[in-house]
Amino acid sequence: MQKKWFWEIILIGIIISGVSFCELNAEILHLKLKTDKKISGDFLYMDTESITLCYAWKLGKPTFCETFSFSEIEHIEGKKPETAFLLALGPGFFLHGLGSAYAENSLLAGILAGCGTSIIFLLPFPPYGTYPPPEIRTLITCLFWVSWAADIIVSPLLSMDYNRKLKRLNLPVKISLDQKINDIYISAKIEF
């Protein structure tokens, strides 16, 4: 009985540790200024003429912020659903939540990362030197596959939702697709 509770507590701790790395209230914006400078920061507020981004927080309060007038901003960079899908599918197998992190949903990314890293507990754990019980092994295996599949399915939708949220700022949003094929540089831009 004591071993069973040990494994359940370890599993819950892994999931909670993934969530603890999250920024719950931050909506990150990526701006491209007319001076070709790219700025990324947490969206703090917007008035009729400017937008304010914060770069550093201390004890939940912004400590370093910068305000940009709309005349300085060329566009806001959006997120490509295809990139979110590919990040979740390929490297996301090893680091679950990568597609969700690209789509700027750090809460879900942290939860998926916590579930994905739980697979290491299928190895024998030193205090007991034994494998976890079969029901815990099944639970861990399911968590691994379900969290990976969830990231693959949800991250493109989160990217589209991120782009929809950007539209409410009434600034130009661009999603750039840059490719180099046979030494010919092709660039396509989608504008909202």
Cα 54 to Cα 64: distance, rounded to the nearest angstrom: 6
pLDDT digits (tens, 9 = 90+) for 109-140: 888 888 888 777 676 666 656 677 788 778 88
Give the range with max mean pLDDT: 7-11, 12-16, 100-104, 162-166.
Answer: 100-104
Query: What does the alpha-carbon distance between residue 33 and residue 65 come to, in Å, rounded to a whole number?
Result: 16
Burial 120-135 (b: 16+ CB within 10 A, else e): ebeeebeeeeeebeee
Q: Dump pLDDT digits (tens) for 73-105.
A: 888 888 899 999 999 999 989 889 999 989 888
In this prediction the pTM is 0.70
Instruction: Record the tokens describing residue 106, joined without a space.
Output: 């750090």
Closest by CA position to 111, among listed 13, 25, 19: 19
Tell which residue, 106, 88, 55, has the closest CA to residue 154.
88
Share of the chain above pLDDT 70, in %: 72
Categorize the per-residue pLDDT at 156 as very low, low, confident or very high, splitting at 50, 70 and 90. Answer: very high
Amino acid present at 7 = W
User: Are 152 and 85 in contact, with CB atoms under 8 Å apart?
Assistant: yes
Instruction: Tell which phi-psi region holds residue 170, choosing left (phi > 0), alpha (psi between -120 and 50) or beta.
Output: left
Rounded Cα distance, 64 and 74, in Å: 23
**CB-based contact 68:126 (threshold 8 Å):** no
- For the chain, which residues make up each domain, given as ranges? 2-21+77-191
Q: Which residues contact 12 (CB under 8 A, 6 or more apart)?
A: none
